[in-house]
Each structure stands twice: as structure tokens, then as C-alpha cells.
Amino acid sequence: MTSLILPKADRSTERYTIRNQPVPVAKRDPGSFNRIAYAATHVVADPLADNDPWLAADIDWDRTLAFRHHLWDLGFGVAEAMDTAQRGMGLGWPEARELIERALKESRSREGAVIACGAGTDHLAPGPDVTIDTIIEAYESQIEAIEAHNGRIILMASRALAAAAKSPDDYIKVYGRILSGVKEPVIIHWLGEAFDPALEGYWGKSDHMAAMDVALDVMGAHADKVDGIKVSLLSKEKEIAMRRRLPEGVRMYTGDDFNYAELIAGDEQGYSDALLGIFDAIAPVASAALGELGAGRDKEFFSLLDPTVPLSRHIFKAPTRFYKTGVVFLAWLNGLQDHFSMIGGQQSARSIQHLAELFRLADDARVLADPELAARRMSTLLALHGIE
């Protein structure tokens, strides 16, 4: 049995033995799923770039694109250049645009690859000179860049709009203008303040239920241009309430990394499709679970996916915006990249105690693809922190 020394919360250490065998990696076709499932995926930094890591975003393109193939192999759609890719936390629009162009080109190299790309206003710095019209122009410029390569749009939330809007009417104007002009139906992303404090009060209301009314009005007026909405409020009750009020034909994509298993399974009144950052980290298990759900084996679906929920809640614990550290950490442990370096130096955003508990929970969830490799890499990291 593979074992290693891990720190405990009381500052002592223990010899921890990996108990569980990983869920096997198996290629799947999206047609075997009865839910649409996007994984919001990370970028792999270039650890050998001669740069200032807090200031420059150098990307290992080969590893980054290989990870997209890993997700496509498992049946997932790729949600490209989302906040998982560290947009707003080190990855600017110039890098995101190149990422989108490369990923879209890569998707055309294989039949049936599903991809949608984040369009926002992150190249527009919030400030007193930013108007609603300049926000519209910023959205349009990113959409134009994506649509020029025949990319589908995920309409991301805008920090600039949250700062400039005076009322819900400003949101209605912006989204109405954007939705009227897109070529294909989009996925709207309502990113809550738990993920990004700058988005508090989005849709012009501080109360989520009141904000929901505004978003529903926007979608109702442009239902033909809305494929669905991704809700990232970390509240299953709010997501279900909104899901039951969606215009006909508009999908709910869960962004709830705390409650995704039961939301995807659904209830007698409906279910959520998925667009999740945690699917990046637990892709083989999530793929197997979705395959079971598609085959009508609900019990097996939950037996696979339920153990991943404590892991996800740990990765996404407050400050939630640092969840990206856990996602990249697992990619490194699982041999999907050769290092634990991140854009903006974000590998330092979580403590060694946090990462040690993540390791234990990853074992419980059966997501350590190669236990010996994972233990060896974890031990290397611990040694750097004086734990041997």
C-alpha cells in the first residue's frame, strides 16, 4: 500500500496510507450522457519562462491543449477561457484571445468536439469614465473576436458593468443589446460574489431572488438567443427556484460546485445540465457517473459522484476565488502536467494544510489516477515545506 507523511491540523504529522483505487479512465462519447456537461478548464503555465510570474502570463500551449483533448476523450464539452483559466486573476484578454483561437482550431481537429468560449469585458478597466455604451462595445469586441473563428459564446459577468450600472435597467440595456447581435444562442454566466466580490449586486439587486427576476426578464425577452444560464451562487435552493421559472427551451447549467450531484440528477420538475470547474479536477469520475446516469443507473451515478462533493466543497471553500489552486494541484498530482506552477503565482494561494486535506479527500473520491505518483509528488511538495 502506498503511504506518505501528511501534516495534521494540530501541527503534528501522520503516516497516511492511500486506501482507494482510482476510477478507471475510459473514453466516452457525449451521446452516452443524458445531460450536457461542460468542464470549465484551466491553463497550464510555462514554468521555465523567464518572467515575473505575478505580472506575466506565459502558457505551456502543448500541455494546455492536451488537457482539452483529455476532457473531450471523456465526453465533456470544453468551456474555454472562463474564470477557471484565471481570467481576472493573471490571465488578461490578449492571452485569453490566443487561448480561444488555439482551442477552437484544436477542436476542429477531432469530430464532435464541443467547445464554447467566454466573452466578457475584462480588457476594460472599471473607472468613472466607463459608460454603459463602452461596456457594450467591450462585450461586442470580444464576441466579434470569438465569432470570427466560429466560436460559441459564454457571456461572462462584467466587473465593469457591476461598477457602472445604476439600476437593473442598465443590465437590461447591455444584455438586450448583446443578445440581439449574437450569431448563435449563448450561455449566460451569473457568477456570484462568492467567486468574485466585485460582482456583488449583479443584475442591479443586492438580493439574489430579486436579481433573479431581472435575469429572467432579460432571458424571456430574448429566449431565442439564450441556450441557457449558468448559475454560480452555491445555493441549490436558488438554482432550483430559477430552473423552474426559465423560459421554455432555456437550459439551466449548474455552476454549483457544492451541490452538483443532486442538481444534475434533478427532481420530478426538472434537472440541471452542467458547466463546472470541478469537472476539470474530477473528470474521469464525473464522466463515469454521467455514463451511469445516461444508462438509467441512478444509484451508481450517486455512488460515484457523491464522494467527490466533499472534495469539491474543500477546493471551493472561502475565499472561493482561490479554487483554481486546487484544480491545478490535482492536475499535477495526476500527471496531467509536470509542475505545480500557476499564472500569477497562484500556487501559493492555499496553505499546505489545505493541500494535505485535499489529498485525503481526493483519495476518498477515487480521483488519484496513479497513487504512487501522487504520493511521490505530494511528498516533494511537503519536503519544500519542511515536512519529511
Partners of residue 6 on adjacent β-strands: 14
Kindly state the cell numbers that stand for 137. 462595445
Please tell me the distance from the alpha carbon of residue 330 to that of residue 340, in angstroms, as a whole number. 9
**pLDDT score of 53 more than 90:** no
Contact in structure between 373 and 30 (CB atoms under 8 Å): no
Which of the four pLDDT bands, split at 50, 70 and 90, describes residue 125? Answer: confident
When pLDDT is averaged across residues 291-306 and rounded to a whole number, the result is 98
**pLDDT score of 136 more than 80:** yes
Question: To the nearest whole number, what is the mean pLDDT of the chain?
Answer: 97
Please tell me the distance from the alpha carbon of residue 202 to that of residue 222, in angstroms, as a whole number. 19
Q: What is the pLDDT of residues 328-351, one digit of tens each?
A: 999 999 999 999 999 999 999 999
SS3 content of the chain, % helix, strand, coil (to 5): 50, 15, 40
Total residue length of the chain: 388
Q: What is the pLDDT of residues 303-316, one digit of tens each?
A: 999 999 999 999 99
Per-residue pLDDT, 175:
98
Which of the four pLDDT bands, split at 50, 70 and 90, describes residue 327? Answer: very high
DSSP 8-state assignment for residue 329: H
CA atoms within 13 Å, Cβ hemisphere of 387: 19
When pLDDT is averaged across residues 49-65 and rounded to a whole number, the result is 93
**pLDDT score of 127 more than 80:** no
**Ordered alpha helix ranges (H), the chain:** 61-73, 93-107, 132-147, 159-164, 168-181, 208-221, 236-243, 260-265, 278-281, 283-294, 298-305, 308-315, 323-333, 352-364, 371-384
When pLDDT is averaged across residues 50-62 and rounded to a whole number, the result is 91
DSSP 8-state assignment for residue 25: P
In single-letter form, the type of residue at position 108 comes to R
Per-residue pLDDT, 128:
86
Spell out the domain ranges in the chain: 33-324
Per-residue pLDDT, 241:
98
Per-residue pLDDT, 88:
84
Q: What is the pLDDT of residues 185-200, one digit of tens each?
A: 999 999 999 999 999 9
Per-residue pLDDT, 192:
96
C-alpha angle with apex 76: 60 to 116, nearest 5 degrees?
70
Please tell me the distance from the alpha carbon of residue 66 to that of residue 193, in angstroms, as a whole number. 32
**pLDDT score of 375 more than 80:** yes
- DSSP three-state, residue 69: helix
Per-residue pLDDT, 126:
73
Which of the four pLDDT bands, split at 50, 70 and 90, describes residue 54? Answer: confident
- DSSP three-state, residue 291: helix
Per-residue pLDDT, 269:
96
CA atoms within 13 Å, Cβ hemisphere of 233: 23
Per-residue pLDDT, 363:
98
Q: What is the pLDDT of residues 216-263, one digit of tens each?
A: 999 999 999 999 999 999 999 999 999 999 999 999 999 999 999 999
| CATH architecture group of domain 33-324 | Alpha-Beta Barrel (3.20)
Predicted structure pTM score? 0.96
